[in-house]
Amino acid sequence: MSTISVSTGFDKETATVSRIYDYLILVLAGFLYIGSYHLHFMLTVGDWDFWLDWKDRQYWPLVTPVLMIAWPAAVQSVLWTHFRLPMGATLSVVGLMLGMWITRVTAYQIWTNYPLNFVLPATMIPSALVLDAILMLSPSFLVTAIAGGASFALLFYPTNWPIFAMFHVPIEWQGGLQTIADQFGFEYLRAGMPEYLRIIERGTLRTYGQMAAPLSAFFAALLCILVYAAGWYIGKAFATVRYLKRV
Amino acid sequence: MKLLKLFVFSSICLSGLFLSTSTAWAHGERSLEPFVRMRTVQWYDVNWSASTVAVNDELTITGKVHVAEDWPNSLPKPEAAYLGVIAPGPVFLRKERWINGEAHLNSLPLKVGRDYEFKMKLKARIPGRYHIHPSFNIIDTGNVAGPGQWVEITGNANAFTNNVETVKGEMINLETYGTANGVRWHMLWMILGIAWLVWWVRRPLFIPRYAMVNKGEEDKLVTPKDKNLAKAILVAVPVIVLSGYFVTNSQYPETIPLQASLDLIPPLPEQADLVNAKIKRATYNIPQRSMMMMVEIKNDSQKTLQIGEFTTGSVRFINSNMKIDASHTPPEYLATNGMQIEPNDLIHPGEAKVVKIMASDAVWEIEHLSSVIGDADSRFGGLLFLFDDQGNRYLSSISASLIPEYK
């Protein structure tokens, strides 16, 4: 019997039932997070994560963490406030990654014949681990929002660069310059995805020349702080037992 | 028991429903509004080099488009357009693409009223039988499909290779390049993430922890060992991330950002305006699936001309009195006996003549072009081809409001 069960005064049978309940909730929550977070991710980040030739240095490191942090923040709010479990962010992101890998392999590779390298997802597990660790060690919503939210965004680009840098090697094609990622977009047919639809390298951030990625990352860090706070309070608002007479 | 029976019955019904469905082969090419298909890019001379190719072999699609003068008011002008291929996924790869003999890697602006000649070289990848269309994806307009042709790919998909050479001379296979590296990094982070979850899940979770938090004993729920692990994470994760970043930078010191330029390709040289065709009145008879045009044609050339063809929305109505090669056009786009011209005479140099052209065929309905009369912009457009006695072709772009006839 664990120290937690001893502390709550559970007898052996109650502790066993409680443990079974844990696993039931975990399985259900796992599917819930995989499904709902994945849906949220596909509808918001969408093409930036689906395709190699969308992962630019300006919008990709800005859009992805900002749109992804709300969900981990909400789950952290529930699990930390009511259970002192500092795994909300990691649970969400690991669930998301499982969902994404299932989709990329089945829907993109097996079903529609895209090679896996063209649809490799980005990972945010390091950002999530750091977010959980900061929440546990602080343990403060405000510190987590500022330090954790900023780290969540700042770690995104360097985390994924080892996966995607090799696709930025230049090639010459029909007398023009392309990255390997651009070449994927050119060769592997996507009827609804013309080149002009990609939202890459647009806007005045280009004024800073080669510094677009770090600037985007710092801007994302600022936004992540705010979005984290919003996500936390959304989680708090939904984590209610007001409809349950007894627990 | 009743519930079980209901469940089994429902499952059988649902399975039957799924098993009875057939594969969808269309790409929605007929669903785009007719006024867009008839009055934006007008396809002609589209040709496929083969109807059967083996894996790794090439298929070349060539053709021309005329960018209609009467571009719909409801659509912005074509400031960026992209010549594409509509196919069920990457069953072919596009290896080369040319417009007017120039490389077309990115989008390009199109000039209204002008013509463009294209060529695409595709490489067969996945065996099967596919409907392949050229298309022009135009910004804020949509994907305007050209005619489609069934093409069969034979052979073994595993034999497919797709090698390209980098600027530094390294030969890489795009089918597999970078996959193993990506999977390795994902696995590393997934293992660490799952390890962190297991660290917490191995202990009782929800009910006892909730009870302790409510009793004010939450400090007991996070142990010094937990805190040490969290501190280790705060150090180790950024170290791994930054190490990976810098090692990668040293492995790939020469990288460039994704390219986002616009191609500037001039249209084909403008043809002399030798034939002027103007529609006086046009009607579409719904029950008879027949379009009637009263067209005033002025021949400013030095040759005697005869009307040979009217094409719109990839559909070709051909004057059966003339010998016009339509062998490269799939039969579903051909109305070889659907064109009547009154009077079907020669138009002499300098002569202006009003002729009645009837274009009748079920293809109006099949291609969903007849629904132009239900559009907010009930105008149609197309190309009229006239020929001289030496077979030279004279093109005239026509358009007009279309009056429906319900009886």
ipTM: 0.94
CB-based contact, B163 to chain A, within 8 Å: no
pLDDT digits (tens, 9 = 90+) for A142-189: 999 999 999 999 999 999 999 999 999 999 999 999 999 999 999 999
Q: Which residues in chain B touch residue A196, judged by CB atoms under 8 angstroms apart?
A: 80-82, 106-107, 139, 262
The residues pairing with B342 across neighbouring beta strands, listed in sequence order, are B356
Decide: helix, strand or coil at residue B103. strand
Nearest to A198 by CA among A179, A219, A172, A226: A179
Please give the pLDDT value at position A206: 65
Contact A2 B204 (CB under 8 A): yes
- Give every CB contact of residue B385 below 8 A, 6+ residues apart in sequence: B44, B307, B308, B309, B310, B311, B393, B394, B395, B396
- State yes or no: pLDDT of A2 exceeds 60: no
Contact A232, A141 (CB under 8 A): yes
Report whether pLDDT(B15) > 90: no
pLDDT band at A1 (very low <50, low <70, confident <90, very high): very low
For residues B350 and B93, give the distance between their C-alpha atoms in angstroms, rounded to a whole number.
50
Q: Do A192 and B143 touch (CB under 8 A)?
A: yes
Residues of B in contact with A169 (CB under 8 A): 166-168, 170, 252, 254-255
Rounded Cα distance between B334 and B277, Å, is 23
User: 3-state DSSP call for residue B313?
Assistant: coil
Question: Taking the alpha carbons of A179, A181, A185, A186 in that order, is the dihedral positive or negative?
Answer: positive
Residue B4 backbone dihedrals phi, psi, to 5 degrees? -65, -45
Average pLDDT, chain B: 93
For residue A127, the model assigns a pLDDT of 98
**Mean pLDDT on B115-135:** 97
Please state, in angstroms and rounded to a whole number, the distance separating the CA atoms of residues A41 and A49.
Answer: 9
- List chain B residues with CB under 8 Å of A133: 230-231, 233-234, 237
Comparing B267 with B29, the larger pLDDT belongs to: B267
* A179 contact residues in B (CB cutoff 8 A): 255-259
Min mean pLDDT across A178-182, A196-200, B174-178 is at: A196-200
Strands B149-154 and B52-54: parallel
Q: Nearest Cβ partner of B137 from A168, A173, A194?
A: A194
| Res B391 pLDDT > 60 | yes
Query: Greater confidence, B114 or A30?
Result: B114
Mean pLDDT of B181-207: 96
Position A6 pLDDT exceeds 60: no
Q: Pick from B190, B206, B221, B223 the residue to mutate for testing the A interface (most A CBs within 10 Å).
A: B206
Find the residue in B nearest to A112 (Cα): B89
Give the pTM: 0.90
The pLDDT tens digits of the residues spanning B358-380 come to 999 999 999 999 988 888 888 99
pLDDT at A33: 82
Burial per residue of A175-188, b for 16 or more beta-carbon CB atoms within 10 angstroms, e otherwise? ebebbbbbbbbbbb
Angle between helical axes of A125-137 and A156-164 (0-180°, round to 10): 160
Mark yes or no for CB contact B212/A5 under 8 Å: no
End-to-end CA separation in angstroms for chain A = 22
Q: Strand, helix or coil at A155? A: coil
CA distance B205 to B255: 47
Q: Check: CB of residue B305 under 8 Å from CB of residue B387.
A: yes
CB contact under 8 Å between A114 and B242, yes or no, is: no
Of B96, B162, B242, the CB nearest to A158: B242
Are A7 and B208 within 8 A, CB to CB? Answer: yes
Closest C-alpha among B404, B373, B401, B396 to residue B296: B396
Given a cut of 70, is residue B388 above it in pLDDT?
Answer: yes
User: Is pLDDT of A247 > 70?
Assistant: no
Pairs of residues, one from chain A and one from chain B, whose beta carbons lie less than 8 Å apart:
311
Q: Does B406 touch chain A (CB under 8 A)?
A: no
- Average pLDDT estimate for A109-137: 97
Per DSSP, the three-state class of B256 is coil
pLDDT over 70 for what percent of chain B? 98
Q: What is the pLDDT of residues A8-66, one digit of tens each?
A: 677 888 889 989 999 999 899 889 889 999 999 999 999 999 999 999 999 999 999 99
SS3 state at B369: coil
Buried b / exposed e over B101-125, threshold 16 CB at 10 Å, is: eeebbbbbebeeebbbebbbbbbbb
Indicate yes or no: CB of A177 within 8 angstroms of CB of B256. Answer: yes
Subunit contact A83:B213, Cβ cutoff 8 A = yes
The Cα A194–Cα B136 span in angstroms is 9
In degrees, to the nearest 5, what angle opens at C-alpha B325 toward C-alphas B323 and B329?
Answer: 140
Q: Using a pLDDT cut of 90, give the percent of chain A over it.
A: 77
Q: Is B210 exposed, middle or buried (0-12, 13-18, 19+ CB in 10 A)?
A: middle
Give the tens place of pLDDT for each residue, B315-331: 999 999 898 889 899 99
Judge: B206–A169 Cβ closer than 8 Å, yes or no.
Answer: no
B27 pLDDT more than 80 = no
What is the mean predicted confidence (pLDDT) over B200-210? 91
Residues facing B152 on adjacent strands: B52, B129
Q: Residue B55 corresponds to which amino acid?
A: V
Q: Do A163 and B181 touch (CB under 8 A)?
A: yes
Cβ contact (<8 Å) for B259 and A202?
no
Contact A151, A22 (CB under 8 A): no
Cα B222 → chain centroid: 57
| Domain segments of chain A as ranges | 12-200+208-239
> Residue A174: which of B105, B137, B183 has the nearest Cβ?
B105
Omega before B343 within 30 of 0, i.e. cis: yes
Tell me the percentage of chain A whose pLDDT exceeds 70.
93
User: Is there a contact between A181 and B258 if contact means CB atoms under 8 Å apart?
Assistant: yes
Percent of chain B with pLDDT over 90: 81
Q: Region B299-325: what's the mean pLDDT?
A: 93
Phi and psi, residue B292, nearest 5° = -120, 130
Asked if the model's pLDDT at residue B227 lies above 90, the reply is yes
pLDDT score of A79: 94
Q: pLDDT per residue over B29-83, tens digit each? A: 888 899 999 999 999 999 999 999 999 999 999 999 999 999 999 999 999 999 9
Contacts of B56 in chain A (CB under 8 A): none
- The 8-class DSSP code of residue B166 comes to B
Taking only residues 200 to 259 of chain B, the set having a beta carbon closer than 8 angstroms to any beta carbon of chain A reads 200-201, 203-213, 217-218, 220-222, 226-227, 230-231, 233-234, 237-238, 240-242, 244-245, 247-249, 251-252, 254-259
Amino acid B288: pLDDT: 94
Q: What is the pLDDT of residue A200?
A: 86
Residue A47: both structure tokens together: 């093409």
Name the CATH superfamily for A12-200+208-239: Ammonia/particulate methane monooxygenase, subunit A (1.20.1450.10)
